[in-house]
Structure 1
Amino acid sequence: MNKKPVYTVEEIKRKMERYCVYQDRCHKEVEDKLREYKLIPQAREAILLHLLEHNFLNEERFAKSFARGKFRIKKWGRIRIVRELKFRHISEYNIKTALKEIDEDTYMNNLYGLAEKKNNLIKDTNNYERKRKLYAYLNYRGYETSLIQEVIETYTK
């Protein structure tokens, strides 16, 4: 029989500290992780409180680093970033703060760069199909419809 090891509250507290130090986490991720340990509600609350008091868990910091990372590395647009943050139960205030991390010029450069790259990969000669595929791709990446249309007009003339 596969028995799970039993940990004390202190041991779990240390594990959660390491979990939060390794990478910024949101409350939802930490709560999901704590659920794995099948703690009583009071112990779970005590650990969460400890993580918050000692700044291991900071929702604003998480939102900012999430937005910066997804924008810079995965080149996601604002809509996708907002959707993902909402999925993680981040407050509207923290979402607004996180979006300020995105530089407007870099945002537009990313959008045009992605559009150019995708446009070169689309094999269709039918102009309508090219526009549809380019739109679908940029929309999936989370860019605003008005900006996508502006970019599509540039690349599919």
Structure 2
Amino acid sequence: MRTVLFLLLAALIPGPAFAANQVALDNHVFVERVLTDAEGKQRILLEEPKVVVPGDRLVFVLNYRNAGAQPADKFVITNPMPSAVRFADAGDTRPFVSIDGGKQWGLLSDLSVPMEGGTRRAAQPADVTHIRWAFQNPIPVGGTGKLMFRGVVK
């Protein structure tokens, strides 16, 4: 049982995110829990994933830091979706996504999936295989930031 749980948790950790230039990345994953206190007020807690089950909402956090000696121009982060997780959202950011293993990119709302018979359907969050953020402004030397996306355990 412990081996199975470990393998499931390992499948939830995103593959290494890749960034341009000398940008250091640090990835973390949390389980999002909603707790209701005695007064009926709901609070969202982020916990380290010890046990996860299908349907659990996960929050993936990508911290970045320009560790180089020059501004990081044309800064891009590409993160594969863990195979055991369905993409849910990326908060207020509007990353490009891929639904074909990273071959083509676009906003989820602009992508479509080929079907049998030559028809197409609108891409859904479950189709996402990779997420990409492309920054318009250089990241200054020592500059830091954080990105996040949510997923649901399949």
TM-score (norm 2): 0.23
Where is the strand percentage greater, Structure 1 or Structure 2?
A: 2
Higher relative contact order (CA 8 A, sep 6+): 2
Which is greater in Rg?
Answer: 1
Structure 1 or 2: larger helix share? 1
